[in-house]
Structure 1
Amino acid sequence: MKHRNFKTVPKMIFGRGAFDQLDDVLMVERKSADDYVVFLVDEIHKDKPLAGRIPQQDGDMLIWLDVTDEPKTKYVDALTEQVQAYAKAHKNGKDPVSVIGLGGGSSLDIGKAVALLLNNPGGAASYQGWDLIKNPAVHHVGIPTISGTGAEASRTTVLTGPDKKLGMNSDYTVFDQIIMDPDLIAGVPKNQWFYTGMDCYIHNVEALEGTYINEFARAFGEKSMALCHQVFLEDHPESDEKLMMASYMGGQSIAYSQVGACHALSYGLSYVLGYHHGIGNCIAFNVLEDFYPEGVATFRKMVAKHNIDLPKNIMKDVTEAQMEKMIRTSQGLAPLWDNVYGPSWKEKVTPELLRGLFSRM
């Protein structure tokens, strides 16, 4: 039996005020006068105090990201081309010494994807899958300003392409450095805070109850789950620090296990109806009490405690073509269903099963 040899983030800084050490981190990479850095930053921070704290130097690029929609392969390709055009015009075609993703899960995923594509030609859609990336990425740093997705810890960058929603899953995707500063996640709008945090909670439920579970994944998943309970059921005074660590540990748990039924359904919702990942997960998880009875019961307590108004009856105007596309998208995620049912999953994950679940949303 061969065990997975997976890569984790080699360098990380954690703590309030840690963002101020980004300049020190980048100075290690800046070795000559024409070295430059690309900052890819969620545009929500454009007119906020954080914008003034970005350690941008002469010659660096700062691009404000539009993450209204889930990241698309064509958007990542356009950003990569923008960086390459700048490099050709001003830097003799030289790559940046680092790419910084600053924001939520979408911004982190875009940072990872651009860093990969600068060294891997052909466009993002050609790398959607497992271990298709051939060359190491440009040095890249992830700095979350909202916690829950685990994007800071994971080996994937989830993108919506012309044919599917699927990550660029690779050891080269993993960040070289992350900076986790709990000060940066203060003041996130409540619904967004909840939906993104639930991505972490649902990761843990799916990993801990899946067929892929082992003691490595269980250790991280159980601790992450306990932290989620403290944040979403107990209103712990240090909830920002705890949520940030829950997100990271949930991402670590998934590295040696897998997500499950909720994420498979959520990918269908996102790809066809455009729901963001966090809210899509919540809509899907709410109908999965037959799969995860205890997890769904606790989730509903969290929803009630925080007065979250989950979208309901979202399928009322869905066409048959859209329904079939959602079913195909969800059914195609083999590793996720294998984690739910084991090798015989194809006998159980029928179009009828998926149609029934989607119809209840």
Structure 2
Amino acid sequence: MSFRNFKMVDYVVYGRGSLNQLDEILAPQRKGDAPMIFFVDQFFAGNNAFLSRLPLRGKDKVVLIDVTHEPKTTYVDALKDALKAEFGTVSGIVGIGGGSVMDMTKAVSLMMTNPGSSADYQGWDLVKLPGVYKAGIPTISGTGAEVSRTTVLTGPVRKLGMNSDYTPFDQIVLDPDLLKTVPVNQRFYTAMDCFIHCVESLTGTYLNAFSKAYGEKAQDLCEEIFLHRSDWDETSDEKLMMASYAGGMSIAYSQVGVAHAVSYGLSYLLGTKHGIGNCIVFDKLGEFYPEGVEKFKKMVALHNIEIPQGITKGLSDADFDKMIDVSYGLPPLWENALGKNWKEQMPKERLRALYEQF
């Protein structure tokens, strides 16, 4: 029997105010006068109080990342080309923001050293060379992108991650103070990505003690924050940041399931953001995850969150076929959810009927 040799993040610093250590963390990674590039979520544009905290040295540059849409391979390639044209090489890339910025940082880091287009590397273990140094600093928690070995990208024909041992960050900085500016609805949608990770991992066929230990703790933390109370206190951001980390670790040695497999189709066709897309789908998955969906609906009601409805109404047969093809292109997710005979349990007709509910 062969066990996967799991690559983790090399270094983790956790604590309120830990962003202030970034200068000393980056110093040993600087290579001559090659700059550090700071990919910063466009949410912070004009926020000089925040941007002034970044330890810019020499030719270092801040690049505001447009997160209007899910990360695209064309965007990754354009950023890579621009950096190579301006600097030739860089010391590293530091991503500061949500899951989309984490994914863009990991992807551009890899493409600074690997030839061709990022679309060439959508799949499992296709990346052949280590990227430039990369650090992740999440300012919203739930996706687990700060710890995962994938960077999820929408390409010309698919939405699929660059899954490889070269993808994880070299360093992450977990500073709960950075979560306080997140809008309430967005915080919920992204946190539910973590909760749904855990439900899918803990009920999947790939479940093992490693995944279970992290998944149970992450789910407990999500429920402490969103199921057992309606307010937000000073410990909530700390719990959510660690739930995201543990949730990401849970799926690292197992897999996600039906909600993610289906929401990828929505995202590819309609551009639905990952967190809210998972919520739209999970809301209708009571037959697959009865206990998890019941808890989810209670959390939605308790926090007065709106889950969009009717987003697939009026789509053409070709549209539904495209979503089904994207979803079907994720066999590990379906196998984790339904077993090796998943295609018999989820024929395209059944998947079409499921998409019509959204």
TM-score by length of structure 1 reads 0.97
Aligned residue type for 2:129: N
2:92, 2:132 within 8 Å by CA — same for their partners in 1?
yes
2:110, 2:130 within 8 Å by CA — same for their partners in 1?
yes
Given the alignment, which residue of 327, 332, 346 partners 1:330?
A: 327
2:70, 2:274 within 8 Å by CA — same for their partners in 1?
yes
- Residue 281 of structure 1 and its aligned partner are, at CA, apart by 0.2
Runs (5+) with no aligned partner, structure 1: 88-92
Given the alignment, which residue of 224, 234, 253 partners 1:230?
A: 224
* Structure 2 equivalent of residue 242 of structure 1: 239
CA distance in 2, matches of 1:60, 1:226: 41
* Structure 2 equivalent of residue 345 of structure 1: 342
* Structure 2 equivalent of residue 108 of structure 1: 102
1:146, 1:193 within 8 Å by CA — same for their partners in 2?
yes
Aligned ranges for residues 49-64 of structure 1 at < 5 Å? 49-64=49-64
* Structure 2 equivalent of residue 287 of structure 1: 284
* Structure 1 equivalent of residue 36 of structure 2: 37
* Structure 2 equivalent of residue 3 of structure 1: 3
Aligned ranges for residues 139-288 of structure 1 at < 5 Å? 139-235=133-229, 237=233, 238-288=235-285
* Structure 2 equivalent of residue 314 of structure 1: 311
- Residue 30 of structure 1 and its aligned partner are, at CA, apart by 2.1
CA distance in 2, matches of 1:178, 1:322: 39
CA distance in 1, matches of 2:226, 2:100: 23
Q: Give a deviation string over 1:293-352, Cα, whole Å, max 9, x none.
A: 000000000000111111111121211111111111112210001101111112112111
CA distance in 1, matches of 2:349, 2:328: 11
CA distance in 1, matches of 2:65, 2:254: 31
- Residue 58 of structure 1 and its aligned partner are, at CA, apart by 2.1
CA distance in 2, matches of 1:108, 1:345: 31
CA distance in 1, matches of 2:238, 2:30: 31
Is 1:355 matched up with 2:352?
A: yes
Aligned residue type for 2:158: K
Aligned residue type for 2:39: L
Given the alignment, which residue of 108, 129, 135 partners 2:129?
A: 135
CA distance in 1, matches of 2:182, 2:255: 28
Aligned residue type for 1:37: M
Select between 240-249 and 227-236 the one with higher mean Cα deviation.
227-236
Aligned length: 354
Tell me the secondary structure at the aligned position of residue 62 of structure 2.
strand
- Residue 43 of structure 1 and its aligned partner are, at CA, apart by 1.1
1:223, 1:249 within 8 Å by CA — same for their partners in 2?
yes
- Residue 259 of structure 1 and its aligned partner are, at CA, apart by 0.2
* Structure 2 equivalent of residue 74 of structure 1: 74
Is 1:123 matched up with 2:123?
A: no
CA distance in 1, matches of 2:224, 2:313: 36
Aligned residue type for 1:233: L
1:331, 1:349 within 8 Å by CA — same for their partners in 2?
no
CA distance in 2, matches of 1:315, 1:159: 22
2:227, 2:295 within 8 Å by CA — same for their partners in 1?
no
CA distance in 1, matches of 2:106, 2:56: 19
1:150, 1:247 within 8 Å by CA — same for their partners in 2?
yes
Q: Give a deviation string over 1:92-113, Cα, whole Å, max 9, x none.
A: x3x2111101100000000000
Aligned residue type for 2:159: K
2:97, 2:138 within 8 Å by CA — same for their partners in 1?
yes
2:204, 2:337 within 8 Å by CA — same for their partners in 1?
yes
1:149, 1:200 within 8 Å by CA — same for their partners in 2?
yes
Aligned residue type for 1:299: F
Select between 99-108 and 306-315 the one with higher mean Cα deviation.
306-315
Tell me the secondary structure at the aligned position of residue 52 of structure 2.
helix
- Residue 40 of structure 1 and its aligned partner are, at CA, apart by 0.7
CA distance in 2, matches of 1:358, 1:124: 29
CA distance in 1, matches of 2:303, 2:181: 15
- Residue 31 of structure 1 and its aligned partner are, at CA, apart by 4.8
